[in-house]
Amino acid sequence: MSRDQPMRRRMTTIQDIAAELGLSAMTVSRALNGHPDVKDETRARVEERARELNYRPNRFARGLVSRQSKLIGVVIPEISHTFFSEITGGIQEAIEPDGYTLILCNSAGSPERERREVDMLVGGRVDGLIAASTFPQDDPELYAGLAEEGVPFVLIDRYFPALESARVHGDDDATIRLCVEHLANLGHRDIGFIRGPDVSTSSLRLAGFRESLRALGLRENPDWIVPGGFTVDAGREAGLQLLQRPSRPTAICAVNDPCALGLAQSARRLGLKVPQDLSITGVGKIEPDYLPEQYLTTTEWSRAEIGATAGRTLLAMIGGGSPADLPDVMLSPKLVIGRSTGPPPSR
Amino acid sequence: MSRDQPMRRRMTTIQDIAAELGLSAMTVSRALNGHPDVKDETRARVEERARELNYRPNRFARGLVSRQSKLIGVVIPEISHTFFSEITGGIQEAIEPDGYTLILCNSAGSPERERREVDMLVGGRVDGLIAASTFPQDDPELYAGLAEEGVPFVLIDRYFPALESARVHGDDDATIRLCVEHLANLGHRDIGFIRGPDVSTSSLRLAGFRESLRALGLRENPDWIVPGGFTVDAGREAGLQLLQRPSRPTAICAVNDPCALGLAQSARRLGLKVPQDLSITGVGKIEPDYLPEQYLTTTEWSRAEIGATAGRTLLAMIGGGSPADLPDVMLSPKLVIGRSTGPPPSR
DNA sequence: CTGAAAGCGCTTACAG
DNA sequence: CTGAAAGCGCTTACAG
């Protein structure tokens, strides 16, 4: 009798092995899990039969009773950006040796989607969570809720100022200072800024920008600080707007690399040469190392290290870290000089 | 009394809600799952209480009885290559609307690791698998085993000629033909090839290369077909070897983009200008679209579409597709012209 | 060294 | 429309 159910052969269970060998399920379980109190001969028989029957422990049954899944949830805004995919690689390296597996979710920059994914992950009983949140920095509610539920999590790249939590992120203040100093050294005095969305990385970079200008004795022109975003599209829009003003800066710092690349597109469209007419800097070095030339002048810090640190931190928390000392790890950036910056045009 | 166990608060269960409301677990389950036979008022009460208690269904319990996890396993050789991360994005788009979640594994090009990951995924009771396998093309054993166990899977990018399976991949024959014809049109007659590892994509591209030469009436020089690999390092090695021979070609087709970029590095190190002294082509367009200029002449086909097609195909198989008609989807490539190709040097 | 009992949190039949 | 029973495949105490 055929059913229209998906036909998936029933998999071997511990009971099957036990029955075949005339043992109890308990003994088979012990033998398979390396429990010491099992006769060597018994263990050998069990292991052999398990291999023959292609036995694989059922994670659901195991998870149901052990209350741990050995699963780590990761939520990032964009998987196809090397920035985040390399972080993901670092996480994986860190958690794999301990038998953990990664479940990856892509929020695509949408808080709604991020909330659904986090709910799904926690409902799926991941043992912990690593997230680069897309929620505005003054809206930590989702993660505050997790903290309350006792779900271990680590925030990467961005964080919520008002929420105590484990964090691993780049030094946003230092990163933008490197850019401004580089431009000042080239002779620029009129520097603009394209802002990002309302997450910590954005606002810290803007604050760093202002502070750097002040420290260098450069004037801050409010007209040259324009709203933008984290994407190429946002950078393009912001660029069109800023570059068509009556007066424009000779250099612009963008809040991140995609934004800077969008800005560069707009500059070209408006007939401006980069860097002859306009210098541009980004943040995050999204361009892959294997390319022969770096286009954008930008900053970078180790993404693999962000991932690895976040992974190790989370495992420590899962292992029973006290919530008293939530780690806050900040990585130092370095400047990467590309073709997008040069001396300002002579008047 | 404190335990040194990881302290994770017990989560709300269906029983909790039932007890609070004086209902049976059964009714709560039905109310929450949109079963029709529940009084509206009851359903409302259940839903409200569930929300208040932050109830999340336990996937383990559900999976244990329903025998499906709503999890899809994906195994790729390298997450930080845009090629694979974009495929992953496409998969996600395809499976998410049906409530499936993606578990991502990175084999890092190691068959050992791939085997461990597949075992883990199947043991974790994923409902299906999508893989770009790193196993040699004449070693389909791992996937043959899955087929026997009745685990639905789709192979992407590469496949095993001897194994009947669902496949979604680029047209490797056409892709290399585009490269050779492009070079021939530029005037090249001496064209070399850097091979890849022993997977279908590699061998099909080599076969396509030979056929294209023949079709265009160009001579095949065995000295100019050298072993290489899929990585920048492999391309660099192969380049050093090939370019230092007494006679060398005026153009080289590499088996993929990373290999071509490694080759370009070697060419520069040996003092050869690209494309003036040597033209180079890749396959797969690994360079991101947002960059202002395309360096490598290469071919591409939609990765999002590979992912989406693989995802949809897998869902169909999970939904009970008959193993009689395993789909084999082939995507057509198009040529992307960059700065790495030009006319051959005049003697 | 081995096993019988109970239970993890759900859902699938089966009754009412 | 609602519920009592049984069971998914394991593991955690508890006995022997």
Q: Which tens digits make up the pLDDT trace of B242-252?
A: 999 999 999 99
Q: Are residues B212 and B295 in the same domain?
A: yes
With a 7 Å cutoff on the CB, does A215 touch strand C? no
| Boundary (domain end) residue, out of A260, A280, A300 | A300
Query: What is the domain-level CATH number for residue A272?
Result: 3.40.50.2300
Per-residue tokens: A301: 């810090």
Pick the closest to residue B283 from B342, B218, B331 (CA basis): B331
Distance CA B340, CA B307 (A): 29
Residue A3 scores a pLDDT above 70: no
Q: Which residue of A has its CA nearest to B149?
A: A9
Residue at shortest CA–C1' distance from D9:
A61
Q: Are residues B180 and B295 in the same domain?
A: yes
pLDDT < 70 regions, chain B: 1-9, 321-324, 347
Q: Are residues B294 and B176 in the same domain?
A: yes
Pick the closest to residue B30 from B16, B48, B42, B19 (CA basis): B42
The verdict on whether omega for the bond into residue A292 sits within 30 degrees of 0, i.e. cis, is no
Q: Are residues B224 and B271 in the same domain?
A: yes
Distance CA B158, CA B111 (A): 14
Q: Are residues A191 and A289 in the same domain?
A: yes
Q: Which residue has the tokens 């520069």?
A: B268
Inspect the interface and report whether the beta carbons of A264 and B292 lie closer than 8 Å. yes
- Concatenating the DSSP letter of every residue in B164-217 gives --EEEEE-HHHHHHHHHHHHHHHT---EEEE---SSHHHHHHHHHHHHHHHHHT
Per-residue tokens: B263: 């080759």
Distance CA A80, CA A1 (A): 47
pLDDT score, position B5: 39
Inspect the interface and report whether the beta carbons of B60 and A125 lie closer than 8 Å. yes
Q: Angle, to 10 degrees, between the axis of helix A303-318 and the axis of helix A82-95?
A: 40
Pick the closest to residue A344 from A184, A187, A138, A219 (CA basis): A187
Mean pLDDT calculated for residue range A52-70: 86
Please tell me the distance in Å from A145's CA to the nearest CA on chain B: 10
With a 7 Å cutoff on the CB, does B13 touch strand C? yes
Q: Are residues B98 and B185 in the same domain?
A: no
Inspect the interface and report whether the beta carbons of B9 and A122 lie closer than 8 Å. no
Residue A28 scores a pLDDT above 60: yes
Q: Which residue has the tokens 């509206």?
A: B40
Mutation site for A-interface testing, chosen from B69, B287, B290 by largest number of A Cβ within 10 Å: B290
User: Protein A26 CA to nucleic acid D14 C1', in Å?
Assistant: 13
Question: Which range of residues forms the domain containing residue B230?
Answer: 172-300
pLDDT score, position A276: 97
Per-residue tokens: B269: 């190190």
Q: Does B149 touch chain A (CB under 8 A)?
A: yes
Summary mean pLDDT of chain A: 90
Inspect the interface and report whether the beta carbons of A102 and B101 lie closer than 8 Å. no
A212 band by pLDDT with thresholds 50, 70 and 90: very high
A82 band by pLDDT with thresholds 50, 70 and 90: confident
- HEC profile for A42-54? HHHHHHHHHHHCC
pLDDT score, position A328: 94
Domain count, chain A: 3
B31 in a domain, yes or no?
Answer: yes
A345 in a domain, yes or no?
Answer: no
Q: Are residues B156 and B275 in the same domain?
A: no
Chain B 53-112, residues with CB within 8 Å of chain A CB atoms: 54, 56-61, 63-64, 67-69, 71, 79-80, 82, 85-86, 88-89, 92, 101-106
Strands, E, within chain A: which ranges? 71-76, 101-106, 128-131, 153-156, 166-170, 191-194, 225-226, 251-254, 279-281, 298-300, 328-331, 334-336
Mean pLDDT calculated for residue range A273-295: 93
B46 vs A215, higher pLDDT? A215
Query: What is the domain-level CATH number for residue A41?
Result: 1.10.260.40
- CB-CB: which of A123, A292, A295 is closest to B292? A295
A9 in a domain, yes or no?
Answer: no
pLDDT score, position A199: 94
Q: Are residues B118 and B196 in the same domain?
A: no
Distance CA B163, CA B149 (A): 15
Q: Which tens digits make up the pLDDT trace of B277-295?
A: 999 999 999 998 888 889 9
